[in-house]
Chain A
Amino acid sequence: MAARRVSSLLPRSFSASSPFLSRSQGRNLNNGSRIVRRFGTSSAAEEVISPSVQVSYTKLLIDGNFVDAASGKTFPTLDPRTGEVIAHVAEGDAEDVNRAVKAARKAFDEGPWPKMTAYERSRVMLRFADLVEKHSEELAALESWDNGKTYEQALTAEIPMVARLFRYYAGWADKIHGLTVPADGNYHVQTLHEPIGVAGQIIPWNFPLLMFAWKVGPALACGNTIVLKTAEQTPLTAFYVGKLFLEAGLPPGVLNIVSGFGATAGASLASHMDVDKLAFTGSTDTGKVILGLAANSNLKPVTLELGGKSPFIVFEDADIDKAVELAHFALFFNQGQCCCAGSRTYVHEKVYDEFVEKAKARALKRVVGDPFKKGIEQGPQVDSKQFEKVMKYIRSGVESNATLECGGGQVGDRGYFIQPTVFSNVKDDMLIAQDEIFGPVQSILKFSDVDEVIKRANDTRYGLAAGVFTKSLDTANRVSRALKAGTVWVNCFDVFDAAIPFGGYKMSGNGREKGIYSLNNYLQVKAVVTPLNNPAWI
């Protein structure tokens, strides 16, 4: 059940102006060229930078207190730069989930959380957002340390986005309206949009705090209580923000955080009879298990955000330089560990050769190294399992006769760094064009016309996202409707504003997170009908 994926992010401020793209275009190499190692250079003996943060919280957060696991067991969480232990963390299991559910149940059934005014709930969330900003450097350092993502990305994009999301959802708390409903006769009909109750939430390791925000934000805004399981690779930051939530005035028991493994803690949450709702982000295979556990227990409604193999389609009229840059970003962002990664780069035959040449050049320039160094674009993969899996797919690409344009090996000799890898001449039936690799491996495919590329883009069990690059309005409109994907980015990619719904068609999931649509996941609809005597109108 190890949550192994998520949804990437990049605020638009980024794509317009910010360090990511400008650096990647080679303009900002001042710091970069000095400290950074490119994937081609060998600098294995460099010192690992010490993160400027202490690990203060390693125990489960249950009913407002940090507590050991019932079993007393712990597990190590590792630094992906070295594979060394950062800290030992309490290992939650069924018994701990039971305790957490009991606390959440009490907090929901007896209050005060759902019995507070929506305005009071919103103020707790707004205070929390302020605290996230106040502690953004510690949070970013912890996130980077545990996950391996670049500190700059965590600090300048992700943590601000966490605050932004909680302000978004805080604003929803007092705007959840039911409806009054036209009746066919003398009845007064209304609908109440009520909190569901205790929500179980299982989040992945690729964007630990952002996924926390996508899950916890709507659940709290709607008045639910929560048992959240973090990924075993990245348990640290959620505890930290859990502490901040208590500081912000969240009553005990409203948000309970259990670190642990999928097969134990995750499964017991999904099959718990007192959990009213489950939301999961992770792999499609695990999503199927989760839904099966819900079906076999109490039929809790399930929201799933699962895998993807998203097409990135470059038409012949596209701005090639921009398309190359965004295709690079769409795939390599966050070490390629994005569920919506643009992992099938379809390029029109007329611009294919130019595109491949430039995509290769861009990948060769990608700056790989210690994520705490300034100017670094790519850190290590999250753990050895992911590292090995990505390397296996690279071998599979070579064996299936795709052309390895660049990369293909490890960077350095410790940790889980992988060279930015580009394959061209990829065919639809190759494994690297079908499976979710979840690593820095770009697959470039050639196409001839619109009909063909629509068909090929849709010929997958996934349907999470797509990128479309064209200057033609007709092409953009046609392809936007034809693609069976939950998000279509036209001449952009990974735009993740809080208001934009995100989720999958087909086996990429059920339901939508973010935006107004996300509230449905945490509300029950109750119809209330009363007869009217002598009504002035119907």
Chain B
Amino acid sequence: MASRRVSSLLSRSLISSSSLFSLRGKDPLLNRGARRYSNLAASLEDTITPPVKVEHTQLLINGKFVDSASGKTFPTLDPRTGEVIAQVAEGDVEDVNRAVVAARKAFDQGPWPRMTAYERSKILFRFADLIEKHNDEIAALETWDNGKPYEQSANIEVPMLARVFRYYAGWADKIHGMTVPGDGSHHVQTLHEPIGVAGQIIPWNFPLLMLSWKLGPALACGNTVVLKTAEQTPLSALLVGRLLHEAGLPEGVVNIVSGFGPTAGAAIASHMDIDKVAFTGSTDVGKIILELASKSNLKAVTLELGGKSPFIVCEDADVDQAVEMAHFALFFNQGQCCCAGSRTFVHERVYDEFVEKAKARAINRAVGDPFKSGIEQGPQVDSEQFEKILKYIRHGVDSGATLQAGGDRHGSKGYYIQPTVFSDVKDDMLIAKDEIFGPVQTILKFKNLDEVIARANNSRYGLAAGVFTQNLDTANRLMRALRVGSVWINCFDVFDATIPFGGYKMSGIGREKGIYSLNNYLQVKAVVTAIKNPAWL
């Protein structure tokens, strides 16, 4: 159940002006601090000490940090070195039970669902303020545990965390039921009620953003929560859990259990007193979660799962922009995005030019210690992911795809991988079908729209797609024909809080973010009253 994926993000402020894109060679720091993957010599550089202390390693249950019932702990590792950052309490069934008891009590008896929506929103607003106050500390912890560049954490993800919570704080007092036209003398209304105790299982690729996508709507709607973090990245959630309580969240409303999928995760999914479960992770684990829900109490399930998203470059596209965006769509966050543009379809007329430029861009990518300024790519999250990606790279080579760049580990310690580009990829190759979840771009050639629509849709996944064209008819046609939950046209990874995100087909069930996400945390109750002598119907 190890949650192994998520949804990437990149706010538009980035694309226009800031850090990530400017990293591309313009920033003088880059050439000083970063090591390019082709630069073999740099492997003995010192690892930068993160400017943060690990303060919280216990489970957060009923407003208190506590050891696990078993007393067991597990190590969370620094992906730059594989060394231990901290020992973290290992939650299991017993701890989940305790967390559910706390959440149940907070929902059934506690003040949370009985507060006014305005009071709930104020707590969420205060929490967003605290996130901003602790921005650098949170970002450092996120980078240390996950391996993502510190600049990405500090400039994009943590600010986005505050933004997402302010978005949901604003929803709290705008959840309206309806009054409904009856066919006769009845007054009909619908109440949109909180579901109750929500179980939430989040992945390691964007630990805090995934926390915000899950907690934000659950809390805005008045639910209480038992949240399980990924075993690779337990630290930042515990810190923000403390901040939530500092902001005035009543005890028991959010409980955070660190631990593993088959134990703590399975206990949440099959718990009889949890009313709802939301999971982000792999499709295979998503199937297990849904089955556990079906075998226990039929709790409602939201799933955000895997993807193999097409990125389609039509012949009339701005090729330089498309190359840059296709690079970003795949390599962002070390390629660890569920919606990564991992099938780059390029029209035959611009294919050779595109491949040449994509290769050059990948070779130019700055790989190194994520705490260094100017670094674009850090290590993969752990050895399991690292090995899996190298296996797929070998597959690509063995199946006859052309290795244009990369293809190996970067340096000699930690889990760094060279930005890798394959061209001449065919649809039936494993690297064109499976979710690799790493810095491996696969470029495929196409001839016409009918063909690329059929090929793009020929996947069990349906999470996202990129479309690059200047032609309005092409854009409109592809936008409707692609069976995916997000279509980015001449852009990619735009993740505003208002934009719903989720999958068609085996990429998941339900939508997160936006107005749609509220449904996941509300029950609809119809109330019908007989009325006498009504003035109108």
Contacts and interface: CB of A to CB of B under 8 A. Distances in A.
B190 A501 contact: yes
Contacts of A72: none
Nearest to A185: B12
Interface stretch (B33-41, B127-135, B285-293, B395-403): B285-293
Given A187-B491, A299-B303, A507-B298, A512 B181 contact: no
B491 A13 contact: no
A491 B193 contact: no
A251 interface: no
A503 B523 CA distance: 10
Contacts of A16: 184-185
Interface stretch (A212-220, A348-356, A388-396, A523-531): A523-531
B499 A527 contact: yes
Interface residues of B, number: 71
Contacts of B184: 11-13, 16, 495, 497
A515 B528 CA distance: 13
A44 interface: no
Contact of A486 (B185, B505, B523): B523
A192 B500 CA distance: 11
Contact of B519 (A185, A520, A526): A520
B479 interface: yes
Interface string A167-205: 000000000000101111111010110100000000000
B485 interface: yes
Given A11-B184, A487-B526, A490-B529, A187 B500 contact: no
A320 to B, nearest CB: 16
Interface string B298-317: 10100101000000000000
B455 to A, nearest CB: 15
A288 interface: yes
Contact of B484 (A487, A509, A526): A526
B101 interface: no
B489 interface: yes
A301 interface: yes
A187 B498 CA distance: 12
Contacts of B275: 506
A299 B509 contact: yes
A488 B528 contact: yes
B287 A295 contact: yes
B294 A184 contact: no
B505 A276 contact: yes
A516 B505 CA distance: 23
B305 A299 contact: yes
B105 to A, nearest CB: 15
Nearest to A473: B529
A304 B298 contact: yes
Interface in B454-476: 460, 475
Interface size class of A (residues with CB under 8 A): 35 or more
B487 A526 contact: yes
A188 to B, nearest CB: 9
Given A192-B480, A299-B509, A501-B190, A488 B516 contact: no
Contact of B293 (A291, A299, A485): A291
A113 interface: no
Given A499-B182, A510-B298, A517-B524, A528 B479 contact: yes
A164 interface: yes
A299 B506 contact: yes
Contact of A288 (B182, B294, B511): B294
Contact of B298 (A287, A485, A486, A499): A287
B243 interface: no
B526 A527 contact: no
B496 interface: yes
B11 A185 contact: yes
Nearest to A533: B490
Given A294-B290, A295-B287, A498 B519 contact: no
Given A181-B499, A295-B294, A525-B500, A497 B183 contact: yes
Given A288-B298, A486-B524, A490-B528, A183 B186 contact: no
B16 interface: yes
B460 to A, nearest CB: 7
A296 interface: yes
Interface string B501-526: 11011101111001110010001111
B514 A181 contact: yes
25 contacts: A13-B184, A164-B183, A183-B496, A291-B291, A292-B291, A294-B290, A295-B287, A298-B460, A299-B283, A299-B287, A299-B305, A481-B193, A486-B526, A487-B527, A490-B527, A490-B530, A495-B184, A497-B180, A497-B186, A510-B298, A512-B524, A525-B502, A525-B511, A527-B501, A529-B488
Top 8 closest pairs, chain A to chain B, by CB: A12-B184, A291-B294, A185-B12, A295-B290, A295-B291, A490-B529, A492-B530, A292-B294
Given A186-B12, A480-B525, A499-B188, 7 more contacts: A191-B500, A192-B479, A294-B294, A304-B298, A487-B525, A500-B182, A503-B524
